Chain A
Amino acid sequence: MSLLLVLLACALTCLGQVAQKYAVEQWRIAPSAWPAKLRTPWLWLALFALGLGLLVWLLVLQRLDVGVAYPMLSLNFVLITLAARWLFDEPIDRQHGVGVLLVMLGVALLGQHA
């Protein structure tokens, strides 16, 4: 249950970042004045996801040691890499792949103590 909450917090944070990226892309494609920029639904989805992510994170900290839980947040680097690869077609080089594997190994080790 606690580990699922960690995953949920990471997924929401990742969703928030992807939505921010879409918001910025939209502003780039169709430049507009600030009031119109603020009406971008992606921006509101980003804020909602990040806010909800923070609330879920507070629930995680009620259950898990922060010394174990906080480094597990680095799972975000893994999720963002997947999002960059599959949603934005960004190339992932070999060194990036090795880094992602190291993060996953570290998180798996920390997960044993959750």
Chain B
Amino acid sequence: MNRQRGIFFALGSVLLVSAAQLGMRWSMTRLPALEHWSTAPLSMTALAVVIAAIGAYGLSMLCWLLALRDVPLGRAYSLLSLSYALVYLLAGSLPWFHESLNLSKSLGVALVMLGVLVINLRTVPVAVSHPRSDP
């Protein structure tokens, strides 16, 4: 067990999955709706970004598996909950996303994070399943 290495990979996974979610949102809002894909013009930039985002998502899964060699599953999930706050705060403050931050949304994100921490920081380690549960 090498704790420092495990945390490094877990945080890498958090950053990659956050970037992947932001990239997917940015590109999907610039691509046509599903029913118009055959007729509407496709933005090559948006297409490249969505492919890169899916790649980042795959890399985050790889980092996740590497992190699990050194960090217990519960701790890893606890760190992963940081990505909820990160995505919410970045999407709400970066100008390209036109999303807003408000009290009720912030409370929702905080409750979700608290719930994930309460589930995963129990003293009895109950590993539900090893693969990560988010697309």
Within 8 A of A (CB), among B36-66: 50, 54, 57
Which residues A1-22 have CB closer than 8 A to chain B?
A: 9, 12-14, 16-18, 20-21
Residues in A neighbouring B84, C-beta threshold 8 A: 70-71, 74
Is there a chain B Cβ closer than 8 Å to A33's Cβ?
Answer: no
Number of A-B contacts (CB under 8 A): 158
Contact B115 A62 (CB under 8 A): no
Query: In whole angstroms, what is the CA distance A62 to B37 when docked?
Result: 13
Assuming the contacts A50-B135, A95-B122, asked whether A62 and B29 have C-beta atoms less than 8 A apart, the reply is: yes
Partner of B131, one of A17, A74, A84: A17
Interface size on A, residues (CB 8 A): 52
User: Across the interface, do A106 and B115 meet the contact criterion of CB distance under 8 Å?
Assistant: yes
* Bound CA–CA A31/B135 (angstroms): 29
Whether A107 touches B108, Cβ cut-off 8 Å, given contacts A13-B134, A99-B119, is: yes
B109 interface hit (Cβ, 8 Å): yes
Which residue of B is nearest A51, CB measured? B135
Q: Are A100 and B129 in contact (CB under 8 A)?
A: no
Least CB distance from B100 to A in Å reads 8
* Docked complex: A57-105 residues within 8 A CB-CB of B: 57-59, 61-62, 65-68, 70-74, 76-77, 80-81, 84, 90-91, 93, 95-96, 98-105
Can you list 13 A-B contacts (CB < 8 A)?
Answer: A9-B135, A54-B135, A61-B24, A61-B28, A67-B88, A70-B84, A77-B133, A96-B118, A102-B111, A105-B115, A106-B112, A109-B107, A109-B108
- Which 7 A-B residue pairs are closest in the complex by CB-CB distance? A106-B111, A102-B115, A99-B119, A103-B115, A109-B108, A106-B112, A99-B118
